Structure 1
């Protein structure tokens, strides 16, 4: 008898399971937008203020929401709890914080400490300015006319300008984006200097290339007073740093592609992934000129993403790939795997490198002259 299985087709149960999985992918954006909603409403902060657990009526009151919204808030919280952002206590009908939602509690609500306050990052990465280009990826891939073909990335097709121009002209987005980068930097540096101090072993001096307003350099200088820290940045960035926020860090105005100040080590934190291979090699050559030999402790410390750095962790790899496609849409530069990093380092004249995956989906790469 001829059956669907005899013809190599799947069973009805398998088809329905495949449809359920497809629906999960189709509606996954709802999870991200629900997360944005929770952060905008201030739900993690409210739960934290209420002692770490709160019922829906308590949240409605704490957030000053209209009472008719309570049933809808319950549905939102049910999804967020299933996604792991909160834990639901059925007996108390309350929602408690989890490690995920604790990361979203603002530092002002939390008090002293640097292990959280990542709400600005979530808000910026889920901002319409960032998200909207993903709606037209297919059009960008197909674009052949002179106008659209000139757009290097989907972001430019959607907004007519690159990310930096939009951030400069759109004050609200610019502030959100800068806050996101600052809070992410504080969080990662907190973990790095606390748990991985060996990265800075034997150093007497360090220059943070493209170090912005000096947050990373100040964190290193505070944790390791023996290290003389400096920041190389463009003149207008250096001029904007208030004198009261120098924190014992020296600021040097200049172009990183032309010259890097001498130091035992050069720090490149989230710099190289923003440039193509040619510019990465050019910058790394300037870094190699600035540091002593490997025997004398010279090295470049790269903090960046290495695709596939944790092969046993499929969720980490998926997050890396999600980030890579987001970068493709927004700025165009690629995230690299170990082989691609190795080629860049070799082309820049370095003798070797070591990758240590200690920063979640990102890694510390020590590069030796």
Structure 2
């Protein structure tokens, strides 16, 4: 039984607990990483129904000595809503099942899984820069927290570390596949008069292939760096062009920029947007650029708003770039020479913005 405390002391105790939770809150992320590493969601899914602690331990081939500690991990995963715990009855073991969240990372879901995105962001290379954020704030030089942690930029890391490059490309592809259905549904009317489209920084082409598959009359092209597209066959419905978006964007009716601009400072974004503007025809001729990014403050969902803020901190520590609010986007588009824009709709914590020359 809890002792009754004065209001002042109760507030102090509550603040202490919340501060502690923030301090060690990274254990939630690391518990999630451990669950993905062990393959807990897939083990439950393969079993076909909720599993007991003993069954999970056996399915994962874990040493018997780890069983009590596995229970502690499952308790945390249940607390954060990643898996569910159900009481099977008096005198029987509890059973653990999947939730909507854990179903999103099932490996055998193929194109629909978000496992690569989660695995990439939980990798030590992506986590370590956050430890250098305080040091970065105190210094005048332009070195990014990512560079402080690894001695190179993010893009240099993708060039020299093939495993990291693959993780990044797989992660970006998983975000595209998760996004495609909703995106295609919303743009079906807008794409009727479109004959050509370039996905700038389109990675391995998941979004472009999704568009080409639903709109076969559109000639779709992906522009990306050599290390991204070098191993992709160029004989399908999507054409792949190796290049640098700061120097050149292939001409098209529509240019798509998905999760590109948040990687760059305003000055660099203006350069990219001007290249895109040069590549499209007039608005009267159907020219436009579709930007898919966060618009901070655009959602009433607390979870989605927190996702936007957390993503902003990832951009800060990785690129010293940022997510932007509506006024920041408006200024950026105007500075790049565009005549008008509109936020057409939102998908989760992402918004689809159409900008016109």
TM-score by shorter chain over 0.5: yes
Q: 2:271 corresponds to which residue?
A: 282
Q: 1:102 corresponds to which residue?
A: 103
Residues 154/239 of structure 1: CA separation in 2 closer, same or farther (3 Å cut): closer
Unaligned runs of 5+ in 2: 1-5
Counterpart contact for 1:232–1:252, Cα < 8 Å: yes
Q: Residue 130 of structure 1: CA displacement?
A: 1.1
Q: Residue 60 of structure 1: CA displacement?
A: 0.6
Residues 229/13 of structure 1: CA separation in 2 closer, same or farther (3 Å cut): same
Counterpart contact for 2:77–2:83, Cα < 8 Å: yes
Equivalent position to 1:207, from 172, 175, 198: 198
Q: 2:139 corresponds to which residue?
A: 143
Counterpart contact for 1:309–1:357, Cα < 8 Å: no
Equivalent position to 1:22, from 19, 25, 31: 19
Q: Bigger CA drift: 70-79 or 286-295?
A: 286-295
Task: Say whether 1:226 aligns with 2:217.
Answer: yes
Q: Residue 201 of structure 1: CA displacement?
A: 4.4
Equivalent position to 1:361, from 331, 345, 349: 349
Equivalent position to 2:318, from 313, 321, 330: 330
Task: Say whether 1:129 aligns with 2:125.
Answer: yes
The aligned length equals 348
Residues 159/279 of structure 1: CA separation in 2 closer, same or farther (3 Å cut): same
Q: 1:308 corresponds to which residue?
A: 297
Unaligned runs of 5+ in 1: 1-8
Task: Say whether 1:272 aligns with 2:269.
Answer: no
C-alpha distance in 2 between matches for 1:197 and 1:70: 52
* Residues 53-202 of structure 1 mapped to structure 2, 5 A cutoff: 53-91=50-88, 93-106=94-107, 109-110=108-109, 114-115=111-112, 117-143=113-139, 149-151=141-143, 153-194=144-185, 197-198=188-189, 200-202=191-193
C-alpha distance in 1 between matches for 2:157 and 2:226: 21
C-alpha distance in 2 between matches for 1:184 and 1:224: 20
User: Secondary structure, in 3 states, of the residue corresponding to 1:177?
Assistant: helix
User: Secondary structure, in 3 states, of the residue corresponding to 2:81?
Assistant: coil
User: Secondary structure, in 3 states, of the residue corresponding to 2:130?
Assistant: helix
C-alpha distance in 2 between matches for 1:132 and 1:199: 42
C-alpha distance in 2 between matches for 1:238 and 1:178: 9
Q: 1:351 corresponds to which residue?
A: 339
Q: 2:30 corresponds to which residue?
A: 33
User: Secondary structure, in 3 states, of the residue corresponding to 1:186?
Assistant: helix
C-alpha distance in 1 between matches for 2:125 and 2:248: 34
C-alpha distance in 2 between matches for 1:73 and 1:187: 31
Q: Residue 247 of structure 1: CA displacement?
A: 2.1
C-alpha distance in 2 between matches for 1:194 and 1:60: 42
User: Secondary structure, in 3 states, of the residue corresponding to 2:294?
Assistant: strand
Residues 126/238 of structure 1: CA separation in 2 closer, same or farther (3 Å cut): closer
